[in-house]
Structure 1
């Protein structure tokens, strides 16, 4: 079976805030590994990372080689993007920055094992000293990105000789560098003192109970809590399974453990008092297991209590989760586009018949992490997932719908 062609491009001659001038180095690639997202939904999504191993036997990637084609440009924070080309279509996999150029020599062989990182790194380096008024979560994300000077190279950079013609090859303002939804929750007014932009953005995402990550094309993505439950995202984009019309996987991992088992939830907002939701029956079954979050940006304690009840409903009882899907080449031709299109937050279905008979296992899950490992011989893709919990769209006060519970605002 055929497989896609891996493509690696580096913007050697352009600074990270400029429109990139990409150079294709795919012919020198020995292997690629990327990892984006998180293992479980209660983890904070940190910077996506990876490693690109380049053949350096001719010293073209040696920063000390003055005769090399990239001499003077082998410096940290040059932009890099990785994609897969399949049947004439290019699918992005990872966009980020080179961290360093470490040289490795083994006898007559020479390589550069280039560590890469996504846009969360510069956002973490950007320290903010400013104030924000009370506003919806999506507005806060946009304001923080503006104040951090966030751009992926689609903005005009004064004094640059490579920007070309204004309005033709460049665009004034941050266009195409973010995908930010409006949000469902108001963030309280905040004054930041030497706080990293990333830290504040992650706090906004946790308060919203949403998703914040760097997309495959390098853009900041912010999804609010409602997105997974509204059309078209409330329907599985693809079904992986062993039945007719389903796309096969190589391996599936089911989890039924206590990693996401909590029957007491305590949530505290900045300037507020701790709000607690608990299930005493679940505590008798599994001991008291407390999930604590503090310093969130809610404007009222009632909103903090609503999140506590949402999480209690989600985590108070164990559940057999389809937590990981593995795909190993060779793969059927029709499987490659379905895999390469996947992004964090996608809803997918997993269906299969375990050996030994009995009921077929069927789960709808949300993609939480995506990893690629590519060599000349192998291509391995891992999707890490979490249950798509349909009850998460309710702010719970009690179990009496319409009296003390209500749909999310908006």
Structure 2
């Protein structure tokens, strides 16, 4: 019986004569499209692109970082252009692109495959480097063009200004891009979770350095996407669509996407069991895991000059990072390499679509490895003459990065007054709120109010924001330290913990005073304003305080409060 052999890449399909033959459309190596905006300014909103694809012989680029604790590096591209016609000599007045063969021009690379055009790189030309196939004879001239993406532009932009207000991390990114004259249409900024402190006046600030600190403070990432958009992913971005689902499985089973190589390792690169972080103007915060230190020895991760608005927020990050990186007990996939020409119909659409933060699955049966990873870096090369394409992705473990923080208890200390109706201050403080604030009770300073007042008298105070920008909130509790003057036998005074949520005051249960100081509290597991779980916005706008007993008999006994604060039990989400 006759046999027919069909080759596709490295695969050979054997068919017996008489078998039904189904041929899917064959996708060859993608067509590389290169455009240069010769006549446009670098920051032009709508560059005028000139197609030089016919001269392209090869290209390669790389961008991103090796793992999630690295800084994002500027994307770098190298393009080889045939210069036989002499169009890329900068002083050739007869050249097609004269006099615009200069550094700084915008360049983009795209790839066309299966009828779809995919963006690969957008950046700015750093240099034109003449080369020859035969340098001695000057035969075969070609031009090597090197370019870097928008992160390099930011690295060379220094500003001085009146400064930035306290604002969300994503707002800070947007404002810095405005300072750098980065086109608004070329941005993709996800909403941040972290509030950054005001900067004060800015002098000689490097925008890229500042935005790197924004990313560190947010636990986010700033990079330039394939289409040239300056892209900011907040720390919660990868928890949400489309990054919450693996896009493809690359493995060694026949039904899975094939790879050339995996690069797994068990190492100490990302092993940290002590974290020390400091924000600008703040005290060093730290967290540690003594069990891990006993197992591996102490390994410290240190960060400085963070931009967070409070030390509490920095402390949250410390605990989170220790929890993520305290163990080195499983394979870590550093990278995966793919040569899609082996299975072009399946692989080219993937290697041309998956950018930083895309989520994939890697499987290696012999190592019992089956895990999901985020792409952190991309390397790509194409040589048209050899019909060769190579893609390498640097990876980070999803289960490590999306670690769920433990439940935490955050104290929200009084910061100022909203309503001050209690009539007497004892101890020398100037205001009611200063008489009851602090991280510990001071029984020498307090406020008093007789219980014969009708209507009731309220003191309401502003307090700290929650450290976590996103969280599931289990409860909010208001604590008071109270006592009364006079004898309880005559009349027992009561004080009522209160909160204001959504512009409405809500009272807890009345608390009996005695002649000795005692701490009392009332807990709201749900928002009294909505009847459902508290939101971060509600807690951050919360007013807390205390109230006299309504319609009490006219006795001389007075309620006293020396301390007021709130506690929020929550689980941060990222």
8 Å contact 1:344–1:367 — kept in the other structure? Answer: yes
Return the alpha-carbon distance in structure 1 between the equivalents of residues 34 and 571 of structure 2. Answer: 45
Larger Rg: 2
Structure 1 position 195 matched with structure 2 position 205: yes
Pairing 1:230-309 to 2, within 5 Å after superposition: 230-243=240-253, 245-309=255-319
Structure 1 position 325 matched with structure 2 position 348: no
Q: Deviations over 1:344-387 (max 9, x none)?
A: 01111112323xxxx63101011000011111211110011010
Structure 1 position 407 matched with structure 2 position 571: yes
Pairing 1:25-36 to 2, within 5 Å after superposition: 25-36=52-63
Structure 1 position 121 matched with structure 2 position 152: yes
Return the alpha-carbon distance in structure 1 between the equivalents of residues 263 and 193 of structure 2. Answer: 33
Structure 1 position 182 matched with structure 2 position 191: yes
Structure 1 position 362 matched with structure 2 position 374: no
Task: Give 3-state SS (helix, strand or coil) of 1:143's partner.
Answer: helix
Return the alpha-carbon distance in structure 2 between the equivalents of residues 142 and 398 of structure 1. Answer: 31
Pairing 1:26-105 to 2, within 5 Å after superposition: 26-105=53-132
1:134 aligned partner? 166
Return the alpha-carbon distance in structure 1 between the equivalents of residues 370 and 271 of structure 2. Answer: 21
Task: Give 3-state SS (helix, strand or coil) of 1:249's partner.
Answer: coil
| Structure with greater strand percent | 2
Judged with a 3 Å threshold, the aligned counterparts in structure 2 of structure 1 residues 398 and 256 are, in CA distance, closer, same or farther, namely: farther
More moved, 254-263 vs 232-241: 232-241
1:347 aligned partner? 359
Structure 1 position 16 matched with structure 2 position 24: no
TM-score, normalization by structure 2: 0.64
Judged with a 3 Å threshold, the aligned counterparts in structure 2 of structure 1 residues 346 and 405 are, in CA distance, closer, same or farther, namely: farther
Task: Give 3-state SS (helix, strand or coil) of 1:235's partner.
Answer: coil
Judged with a 3 Å threshold, the aligned counterparts in structure 2 of structure 1 residues 405 and 330 are, in CA distance, closer, same or farther, namely: farther
Judged with a 3 Å threshold, the aligned counterparts in structure 2 of structure 1 residues 95 and 32 are, in CA distance, closer, same or farther, namely: same
| Structure 1 residue 118 displacement after superposition | 0.1
Specify which of 332, 335, 339 is matched with residue 347 of structure 2.
335
Q: RMSD value over aligned CA atoms?
A: 2.1
| Structure 1 residue 288 displacement after superposition | 1.0
Q: Deviations over 1:138-181 (max 9, x none)?
A: 11111111122112xxxxxxxxxxxxxxxxxxxxxx22x10111
Return the alpha-carbon distance in structure 2 between the equivalents of residues 280 and 289 of structure 1. Answer: 11
Task: Give 3-state SS (helix, strand or coil) of 1:207's partner.
Answer: helix
1:170 aligned partner? none
Q: Deviations over 1:102-144 (max 9, x none)?
A: 2123231212111110011221222122211111111111111
8 Å contact 2:88–2:143 — kept in the other structure? Answer: yes
| Structure 1 residue 255 displacement after superposition | 1.6
| Structure 1 residue 408 displacement after superposition | 3.2
Which structure 2 segments of 5+ residues have no match? Answer: 1-8, 10-27, 410-471, 476-567
Return the alpha-carbon distance in structure 1 between the equivalents of residues 401 and 74 of structure 2. Answer: 29
Which structure 1 segments of 5+ residues have no match? Answer: 152-173
Task: Give 3-state SS (helix, strand or coil) of 1:30's partner.
Answer: strand
Return the alpha-carbon distance in structure 1 between the equivalents of residues 351 and 381 of structure 2. Answer: 14
Return the alpha-carbon distance in structure 2 between the equivalents of residues 183 and 259 of structure 1. Answer: 28
2:141 aligned partner? 110
8 Å contact 1:207–1:297 — kept in the other structure? Answer: yes
More moved, 19-28 vs 291-300: 19-28
8 Å contact 2:340–2:351 — kept in the other structure? Answer: no
| Structure 1 residue 398 displacement after superposition | 6.1
Return the alpha-carbon distance in structure 1 between the equivalents of residues 181 and 572 of structure 2. Answer: 32
Judged with a 3 Å threshold, the aligned counterparts in structure 2 of structure 1 residues 393 and 303 are, in CA distance, closer, same or farther, namely: farther
8 Å contact 2:197–2:309 — kept in the other structure? Answer: yes
2:423 aligned partner? none
Pairing 1:164-175 to 2, within 5 Å after superposition: 174-175=184-185
1:150 aligned partner? 182
Taking CA–CA contacts closer than 8 Å with sequence separation of 6 or more, which of the two structures ends up with the larger relative contact order? 1
